[in-house]
Amino acid sequence: MTHIEKPLSINDLTAMKQRGEKITCLTAYDASFSALIDKAGIDMMLVGDSLGMTIQGHGSTLPVTIADMVYHTRCVSHARQRAFVVADLPFMAYATTALATENAAKLMQQGGAQMVKLEGARFEIVSFLVGQGVPVCGHLGLLPQSINQLGAYSVQGKEPAAADKMMEEALGLQQAGVALLVLECVPAPLATAISGQLQIPVIGIGAGLGCDGQVLVLQDMLNIGIGKRPRFAKDFMQGADSVEAAIRAYHLAVKQSLFPTAEHSF
Ligand code: KIV
């Protein structure tokens, strides 16, 4: 008889933080990789709007629509057994509480997401969604949906005032009800301090070893991305004889706190 694993819940991820076990996460956009990532034991899959670049070939995440996100989230959630599934609300899909509610419902009801992620210190939107029973993941640091305001994909929170603001925003998001927080391209000491202050799990990408877990874009860690691999992303295909072995190597390196090293941090 085939053994079917129960999907992890947010309580399982929070318990991992409490007992000091690192949380592993990769982006996933389709059923084949979803099944493989799940089989390799990864705790969480993020259906990221990075699919605008990795799957659709755009130069940014901005062209991604809610219909794209629902389609890819459904592909991923159909094929997983155990990993917790989070899906991104794309650019402008949470500009108002009404839009956020309608689009979060699509990701959960049609896509099968267990949680939705949105970028920035959007306290009002977060507390409204949480009040409607929608689990929310925050995202601070580098916000790819704001690339045209930022001007470049660069490390955020380097200056003391910006670091203090990010700490305040992280605490504010927790207060508003987010159950998880992603920190992208943040100096390692700041990300460590934020992870230490928050009760909720903090998942880092280019944010150093002190976060409660790590996420990478799948194509970056398999070194099959279109553009230049970001400095914080290690090529796990090196020394691996299959894609599954590379994903298992990433999982083990994160669980054993061997990734990211200083070379992959800021
Ligand atoms: O869209 C995405 O893949 C993300 C990660 C970079 C965290 O938001």
End-to-end C-alpha distance for the chain, whole angstroms = 48
CB of 81 within 8 A of CB of 4? yes
Q: What is the CATH number of domain 10-264?
A: 3.20.20.60
| pLDDT tens profile 93-121 | 999 999 999 999 999 999 999 999 999 99
Give the confidence band of 162 by pLDDT, cuts at 50, 70, 90: very high
The 3-state secondary structure of the chain reads CCCCCCCCCHHHHHHHHHCCCCEEEEECCCHHHHHHHHHCCCCEEEECCCHHHHCCCCCCCCCCCHHHHHHHHHHHHHHCCCCEEEEECCCCCCCCHHHHHHHHHHHHHCCCCCEEECCCCCHHHHHHHHHCCCCEEEEEECCHHHHHHHCCCCCCCCCHHHHHHHHHHHHHHHHHCCCEEEEECCCHHHHHHHHHHCCCCEEEECCCCCCCEEEECHHHHCCCCCCCCCCCCCCCCCCCCCHHHHHHHHHHHHHCCCCCCHHHCC
Any atom of ligand 1 within 6 Å of the Cβ of 215:
yes
Closest C-alpha among 154, 220, 216, 158 to residue 182: 216
Q: Is the pLDDT of residue 1 over 60?
A: no
Catalytic residue among 21, 124, 169, 184: 184
Kindly indicate the confidence band of residue 5, based on its pLDDT and cuts at 50, 70 and 90.
Answer: confident
Cα 203 to middle of ligand 1, angstroms: 11
pLDDT on residue 227:
87
- For ligand 1, is residue 27 a contact (CB within 6 Å)? yes
Q: Over the stretch 6-59, which tens digit does the pLDDT of each residue have?
A: 899 999 999 999 999 999 999 999 999 999 999 999 999 999 999 999 999 999
- Cβ of 182 closer than 6 Å to ligand 1, yes or no, is yes
Residue 2 CA to ligand 1 center (angstroms) comes to: 33
Q: Token pair for residue 74?
A: 């459904």
Residue 142 has pLDDT above 80, yes or no: yes
Q: Is-catalytic flag, 184?
A: yes
| 133: Cβ contacts below 8 Å, ≥ 6 apart | none
Task: Give me ligand 1 centre to Cα 90, in Å.
Answer: 11
Q: 193 phi and psi, to 5 degrees?
A: -65, -45
* Ligand 1 pocket member 220 (CB < 6 A): no
> Closest by alpha carbon to 48, among 117, 98, 151?
117
Q: Is the CB of 87 under 6 A from ligand 1?
A: no
Ligand 1 atom nearest residue 27's Cα: 3
Q: What percent of the chain has pLDDT over 70?
A: 98
Report the C-alpha gap between 166 and 214 in whole angstroms: 19
- State the distance from the centre of ligand 1 to the C-alpha of 49, rounded, in angstroms: 6
Q: Is the pLDDT of residue 202 over 60?
A: yes
pLDDT digits (tens, 9 = 90+) for 178-190: 999 999 999 999 9
